[in-house]
């Protein structure tokens, strides 16, 4: 039994499927996906549908997932005379345009192909994505969060961070976070390529940055928390 982490799959279903094969992912293993499953790549909804079938895959919210969930929920309401003004107004249209410019088109396309029951199931699934999670492996504590810990203070409780601080924070890659030697932080969101020039997991002390730009010029990375071994597709 092993525990794995991936992030920022961004619609790259084929890379996701190839990675599950590469690590020999089985029903005894666990996989945390720390955000940004959707948008940009061609098959984001296929990834969500696959994740939903697996009770040993644990999603964590990314900024793209949250935005997609928000816009899709709003679009999925049946428009009636009573709610037309609140649901089909300029604000809703601007949100939709912002999302499309940010890569939402592939998610919208996949979502439209679903039956009404599947759409409801996908939205229900996404509504349950937590803003962070914690995994304990071999006596080590791993804080799993999409972007990092914005406005970090050692005494601040995880539940007191805002979605913005956890999902959209831009790290300097010099963050140290917790001084406890058993506490590690794993995050995605900011491609390591921007900092190191390489599509590889970047480690600074006990902080790991695992977004290796799967949907552009980089690779999909996967980190095994038991062995700290890195896998790439």
Given the rule CB under 5 A, which residues bind Mn ion? 36, 62-63, 189
Q: Which is nearer to Mn ion, 25 or 72 (CB)?
A: 72
Q: How many CB atoms lie within 10 A of CB 134?
A: 13
Whole-number minimum distance, CB 189 to Mn ion, in Å?
4
Q: Looking at beta carbons, which residue is closest to Mn ion?
A: 189
- Which stretches of the chain are DSSP H helices? 13-22, 44-52, 63-75, 84-87, 90-99, 105-112, 116-127, 163-167, 193-196
Q: Which is nearer to Mn ion, 20 or 213 (CB)?
A: 213
Whole-number minimum distance, CB 135 to Mn ion, in Å?
20
- 């599947």: which residue's tokens? 118
Q: Which two tokens stand for residue 82?
A: 């009573």
- 């969101």: which residue's tokens? 189
Q: Which is nearer to Mn ion, 36 or 165 (CB)?
A: 36
Q: Which is nearer to Mn ion, 12 or 36 (CB)?
A: 36
**Contact of 125 with 61, CB cutoff 8 Å:** no
Whole-number minimum distance, CB 207 to Mn ion, in Å?
17
Whole-number minimum distance, CB 216 to Mn ion, in Å?
13
């Amino acid at each position: 039994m092993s525990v794995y982490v991936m992030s920022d799959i961004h619609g790259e279903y084929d890379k996701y499927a190839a990675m599950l094969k590469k690590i020999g992912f089985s029903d005894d293993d666990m996989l945390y996906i720390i955000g940004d499953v959707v948008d940009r790549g061609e098959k984001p909804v296929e990834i969500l549908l696959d994740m939903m079938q697996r009770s040993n895959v644990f999603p964590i919210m990314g900024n793209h997932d949250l935005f997609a969930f928000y816009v899709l929920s709003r679009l999925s309401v049946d428009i009636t005379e009573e709610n037309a003004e609140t649901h089909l107004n300029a604000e809703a249209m601007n949100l939709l345009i912002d999302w499309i410019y940010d890569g939402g088109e592939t998610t919208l396309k996949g979502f439209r192909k679903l039956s009404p029951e599947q759409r409801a199931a996908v939205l229900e699934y996404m509504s349950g994505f937590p803003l962070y999670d914690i995994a304990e492996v071999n006596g080590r504590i791993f804080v799993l969060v999409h972007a990092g810990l914005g406005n970090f203070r050692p005494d601040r409780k995880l539940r007191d961070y805002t979605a913005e601080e956890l999902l959209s924070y831009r790290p300097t890659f010099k963050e140290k976070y917790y001084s406890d030697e058993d506490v590690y932080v794993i995050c995605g969101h900011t491609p390591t390529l921007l900092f190191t020039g390489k599509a590889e997991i970047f480690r600074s002390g006990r902080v790991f940055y695992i977004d290796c730009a799967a949907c552009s010029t980089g690779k999909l990375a996967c980190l095994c928390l038991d062995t700290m071994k890195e896998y790439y597709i």
